[in-house]
Amino acid sequence: MRITDVTCHILQSKVEQPFVSARGWVYSTRASCIVEVSTDEGITGWGECYGPAAVNKALIDTQYRPRVIGRDPFDVEVVWEDLYNRIKDYGAQGFSITALSGIDIALWDIMGRAVNKPVHKLIGGAHRAEVQAYATGLYFIDMERLVEEAVEEAQKYAAQGFHAIKMKIGLGDAKLDLRRVAAVREAIGPGVKLAVDANHCFTVPQAIQLGRAMEELDLMWFEEPISPEDHAGYAQVSQALDMAVAGGENDFTRWGFRDIIASKAMDIVQPDVCAAGGISECRKIAALASAHGVECVPHAWGSAIGLAATVQFLAALPDTPPCLRPAPPMLEFEQTPNPLRDHLAKEPIVQVNGIVAVPGGPGLGIEVDRAVLNQYKVA
Ligand SMILES: [Mg+2]
């Protein structure tokens, strides 16, 4: 089989009720670079790139596409190494890797379709037929009702069946952050798991101080307390706090994760399959983590394609540690309004009672709805 073309589709949708994170970014649109890889056997594979879509498209169109056409999709890791070694002198992190991730995922989709097996069967098999999902949300919308709106949104997810929720923190006021997290914890009760995500807005001392204050609230993890460049700072925060410290959505490749994992700078690493180098590279990152007793719980933020790729990867991750009643790695099921996540697949990935079934169809296990693709396509 030979690859005949690589096409990037930029999809964009408007967010009716814009929301804000600790970064100060206002999310008023959702966009994604979707990668379509065609072959001479009529099999098409789909992938997705994390981050600003036009840059990913430009990188693929100008740097990667000419090197991928004519290759055999089953040579997925040969292609990966070739593309990486072509670009790393100019960027071994960031866009060059997010763009590469989209191609890698599409090649795994093609391989699965070619042999009529889901991707998890090609990467070692599923440790579980269904995954536990946690709802990501509780951004900042109404600055006058920050505590109330968080409580209401958390109660909504609990009523929808979620048994775990991740909320945003980082309001520039540690006392308000603490009050808001405590209010959510009280509202959802002890039976629903809760994590917090600061989107790297704190200094090391701020993170340690707030982390200690939050420890009595029974949190699963404290995500991205500090800036992703400061791996030594992560080690400081991780050592100072009893609760787990997580991060890695802004880290890339096995080399980027190597020192984080070896130094145990984080208790939980969160590579994103659409960012860190695709399914091929995330498997290597997960192996590094396993060897060091670090948990791997992937980050996910994108369309139905990225979500499906994450579920396939997650299904193949072992329990850490294996035991009588393990706590399997959970699926990040982001819940902010996003039609690209909810409608791009003909049979969307959904949760029931906090559980998502691992798709058993070929490749990523979803079928892209071209009418929806065209509806949201802007370039
Ligand atoms: Mg995060």
Q: Print the SS3 string covering 257-298.
A: HHHHHHCCCCCEECCECCCCCHHHHHHHHHHHHHHCCCEECC
Q: What is the mean pLDDT of residues 8-27?
A: 93
User: Is residue 362 a contact partner of residue 112, using CB atoms and an 8 Å limit?
Assistant: yes
Q: What is the mean pLDDT of residues 60-69?
A: 98
Phi, psi of 67 (to 5 degrees): -85, -15
What pLDDT, on the 0 to 100 scale, is given for residue 25?
Answer: 86
Of residues 187 and 320, the one with the higher pLDDT is 187
If we measure between CA atoms, which residue out of 325, 332, 339, 347 comes closest to residue 375?
339
Domain residue spans in the chain? Answer: 3-116+370-376, 121-357
User: Is residue 311 a contact partner of residue 331, using CB atoms and an 8 Å limit?
Assistant: yes
- How many H helices and E strands in the chain? 14, 12
Fold (CATH) for 121-357: TIM Barrel (3.20.20)
User: Catalytic pick from 127, 163, 299, 343?
Assistant: 299
Q: How far, in Å, from the CA of 267 to the mean position of ligand 1?
A: 15
Q: How far, in Å, from the CA of 91 to the mean position of ligand 1?
A: 23
What's the whole-model pTM score? 0.98
Helix (H) or strand (E) holding 234: helix 231-240
Q: What is the mean pLDDT of residues 28-46?
A: 97
Q: How far, in Å, from the CA of 75 to the mean position of ligand 1?
A: 32
Angle, helices 304-315/278-291, rounded to nearest 10 degrees: 40
User: Is residue 105 a contact partner of residue 48, using CB atoms and an 8 Å limit?
Assistant: yes
Task: Provide the token pair at 316.
Answer: 């193949």
The DSSP letter of residue 326 is -
Q: How far, in Å, from the CA of 4 to the mean position of ligand 1?
A: 36
Q: Is CATH 3.30.390.10 what the domain over 3-116+370-376 is classified as, yes or no?
A: yes
If we measure between CA atoms, which residue out of 12, 63, 1, 62 comes closest to residue 34?
12
Determine the Cα–Cα distance for residues 146 and 377; give it in Å rounded to an integer: 34
Q: How far, in Å, from the CA of 116 to the mean position of ligand 1?
A: 34
What pLDDT, on the 0 to 100 scale, is given for residue 218?
Answer: 98
- Answer yes or no: is pLDDT of 320 > 90: no
Q: How far, in Å, from the CA of 265 to the mean position of ligand 1?
A: 16
Q: How far, in Å, from the CA of 199 to the mean position of ligand 1?
A: 6
Q: How would you list the strands of the sheet with 26-39, edge to edge?
A: 3-20, 26-39, 44-49
Q: How far, in Å, from the CA of 136 to the mean position of ligand 1?
A: 9
The per-residue pLDDT for range 92-123, each reduced to its tens digit, is: 999 999 999 999 999 999 999 999 999 999 99
What pLDDT, on the 0 to 100 scale, is given for residue 72?
Answer: 98
The per-residue pLDDT for range 260-290, each reduced to its tens digit, is: 999 999 999 999 999 999 999 999 999 999 9
Which residues make beta-bridge pairs with 299? 272
Residue 299 annotated as catalytic = yes
Q: How far, in Å, from the CA of 39 to the mean position of ligand 1?
A: 35
If we measure between CA atoms, which residue out of 317, 304, 295 comes closest to residue 346?
304
If we measure between CA atoms, which residue out of 14, 30, 6 comes closest to residue 303?
30
Task: Provide the token pair at 324.
Answer: 């009588």
Determine the Cα–Cα distance for residues 218 and 162; give it in Å rounded to an integer: 17
Cα dist. 210→92, 174, 304, 332 in Å?
A: 33, 7, 35, 24
* Ligand 1 ion local residues (Cβ < 5 A): 197
- Answer yes or no: is pLDDT of 202 > 90: yes
Q: How far, in Å, from the CA of 200 to the mean position of ligand 1?
A: 9
Alpha-carbon Rg for the chain, nearest whole angstrom, is 20
Q: How far, in Å, from the CA of 249 to the mean position of ligand 1?
A: 7
Residue 324 Ramachandran class (φ > 0 left, ψ -120 to 50 alpha, else beta) = alpha
What pLDDT, on the 0 to 100 scale, is given for residue 322?
Answer: 86
What pLDDT, on the 0 to 100 scale, is given for residue 180?
Answer: 98
The DSSP letter of residue 60 is I
